[in-house]
Amino acid sequence: DGGITQSPKYLFRKEGQNVTLSCEQNLNHDAMYWYRQDPGQGLRLIYYSQIVNDFQKGDIAEGYSVSREKKESFPLTVTSAQKNPTAFYLCASSIGGTYYEQYFGPGTRLTVT
């Protein structure tokens, strides 16, 4: 099955700990994205990558970090510097740049207490 996967579905962490969210795609897409969604809100862009070994900050990059060492993988680390990390995190990919339709993973719900 082609698609985009995120793991785990639910993640619980104590405040002050870094946590890494996984995102993998087998669609052979060049571009990948991370979004954050808070209850009743839209999606806000955290980071995006249009090609391996390159990524750009989105609107709310502070307290987050990413890497893009392989085309199929775009992990997101939520650091202890992120003041309010509890949210629903969505990863997406697209065949090309920002004009193309995006394919989304099922999301990871992170709870930090």
Partner 1 sequence: SQQGEEDPQALSIQEGENATMNCSYKTSINNLQWYRQNSGRGLVHLILIRSNEREKHSGRLRVTLDTSKKSSSLLITASRAADTASYFCAPRGNEKLTFGTGTRLTIIP
- 16 or 42: CB nearest partner 1: 42
Which residues in this chain contact partner 1 in the complex, by CB under 8 A? 33, 35, 40-45, 48, 58-59, 88, 90, 92, 98-99, 101-107, 109
Which of 6, 101, 94, 85 minimizes the C-alpha distance to 46?
A: 85
Q: How many residues does the chain have?
A: 113
Which of 76, 73, 4 minimizes the C-alpha distance to 36?
A: 76
CB of 70 to partner 1, least distance (A): 21
- 73 or 88: CB nearest partner 1: 88
- 75 or 107: CB nearest partner 1: 107
State the pairing for strand pair 103-104/76-78: unpaired
